[in-house]
Structure 1
Amino acid sequence: MGTVTPFPGPRRQDGQVGFERAELMRILDLYGRMVAAGHWRDYAMDFGREAASFSAFRRTAERPEFRIEKRPALRNRQGMWSLLNEAGMVLKRGQELGAVLAPVERRLVKLVGE
């Protein structure tokens, strides 16, 4: 038998925050509808010790138009989900992902309706 050598480089940190499958499916469903409407073109995900974030871009070279963050440490306070705008201001915060995504979904209805 051979010897197993660990892959060099940064290792996954203990306690890293991530999205569950149902949460990610909900976010990617919204992203896909915004892409189909011609509004978003790119996305990025970031996973850290304190938060996981999903950023949606109109164009690749810009700052994200919206950022959806999951911060489990705020679960018992303001809610672990937050929606931030391009400037980093919190637009909506809550316990449920659907309620936090509601302003973006309303905007999608306006885009499709035009």
Structure 2
Amino acid sequence: MSIEKNPPSQGAVIPQQVAFDRREMSVILSLYGRMVAAGEWRDYGISCLRELAVFSIFRRTAEHPLYRIEKQPKLRNRQGQYAVVGMDGQILKRGSDLKAVLRVLERKLIRAVK
């Protein structure tokens, strides 16, 4: 007989990695497409890690990301699982509604189009 340390709760599935689902990607890529059309953004990268998923946005390919859109399911019941992080690491917006969190970047689109 074996005894498991910290067994997962009944019915809980432990994912190997966190990823954005199709609905989330649709929302993110819609904003990304508008910013590319405005000439603000040029490239992106996606990282699916064990504890979080990151959509990184670049102005040019060979530089640090301007923004990171992060999904951390562990924070779902606390501050919200989505966050927009600036180039300097500052959290610009955090919440549980992805569209509401991305509004902080849409404001930059309005300024860019003027």
Q: Give the TM-score normalised by the residue count of structure 2.
A: 0.85
Match of 2:45 in 1: 44
Distance 2:15 2:66 in 1: 30
Q: Please, which runs of 5 or more residues in structure 2 have no aligned partner?
A: 1-13
Q: Tell me how far 1:14 sits from its aligned partner.
A: 4.3
Match of 1:90 in 2: 91
Q: What pairs with 1:55-94 in structure 2 (closer than 5 Å)? A: 55-94=56-95
Match of 1:109 in 2: 110
RMSD of the alignment, in Å?
1.2
Distance 1:46 1:35 in 2: 20
- Aligned amino acid, residue 45 of structure 1: I
Match of 2:30 in 1: 29
Identity of paired residues, percent? 55
Q: Please, which runs of 5 or more residues in structure 1 have no aligned partner?
A: 1-12
Q: Tell me how far 1:110 sits from its aligned partner.
A: 1.1
Distance 1:35 1:92, change over 3 A: same
- Aligned amino acid, residue 40 of structure 2: H
Q: Tell me how far 1:15 sits from its aligned partner.
A: 2.8
Distance 1:21 1:62 in 2: 27
- Aligned amino acid, residue 64 of structure 1: P
Q: Please list every run of at least 4 consecutive aligned residues from structure 1 whose deviation after the TM superposition is greater than 3 angstroms.
A: none
